[in-house]
Amino acid sequence: MKILVVEDEAAIAEPLCEGLRREGFSVTHVDTGAAALAAPLPDVVLLDLRLPDLDGYEVCRELRARSEVPIIVVTARGEEIDRVVGLELGADDYVVKPFGLRELVARIRAVSRRAGRRANDGEALDVGDLHLDLRGRRVQLADRELQLTVKEYDLLALLARDPGAVVTKQRILNEVWNTSWYGSSKTVDVHVASLRKKLGDPTLIETVRGVGLRLRDA
């Protein structure tokens, strides 16, 4: 597996890269945002937010716009708002420094497994007028194709796999964002609001207060 480490502090990057190589990963290290955007796409990106040239959030946004490569933000910024923004911009997970190598390796493998399931899932889902092509990651509502972000699509697909069933917000964070973080679920609320707007019918995604969300079984 190819890992791109985007970290400008040599004291952190060198032992991190060495540890990942010992775990069997092929590691490329860059120390600027521009170099990260110019590098060949890896299997997983480990992205620091504090870079000397570009804001790490912008790098995350650009990478996500180009591809669905799993992105794990690795940073000293541990405030809730930093986590929310990172996840909203498309990061798959968020690790706060200092961290243990074994935990990081487990998270790398977790996001990789999910990316593999997305790539290999050849099913289609139909819920009422809603059609999800899981292989092509395309969504149609009646005769209209919806333009969804990566996370909006993943959220809708999770709900559509069991229409009518309530999915907790923590499970959504676990499966869509691949994080075990138990902080605010604001990032889920933001994506749900955007998804409801694109669906054109806010009642398609129902909120079960204090529990979670469900897709109306039309």
- Domains located in the chain, CATH noted: 2-119 (3.40.50.2300), 122-215 (1.10.10.10)
- What sign results for the dihedral spanned by CA atoms 69, 123, 191, 114? negative
Average pLDDT of the segment spanning 30-49: 94
For residue 64, pLDDT over 80 is answered with yes
- DSSP states of 102-117 as a string? HHHHHHHHHHHHHHHH
Dist. CA 140–CA 129, nearest whole Å:
8
Mean pLDDT estimate for the chain? 86
- What whole-number distance in Å separates Cα of residue 186 and Cα of residue 88? 9
pLDDT, one tens digit per residue, over 111-170 is: 887 666 555 555 788 888 899 988 788 899 988 999 998 889 999 999 998 888 898 888
The C-alpha atoms of residue 17 and residue 204 are separated, in whole angstroms, by: 46
Contact 33, 61 (CB under 8 A): no
| pLDDT higher than 90, residue 196 | yes
| Model pTM score | 0.58
pLDDT tens-digit series, residues 1-10: 899 999 999 9
Q: Are 20 and 27 in contact (CB under 8 A)?
A: yes
Using one digit for the tens of pLDDT, what is the confidence trace for 41-55? 898 999 999 999 999
Does the pLDDT of residue 181 top 70, yes or no?
Answer: no
For position 177, what pLDDT does the model report?
A: 81
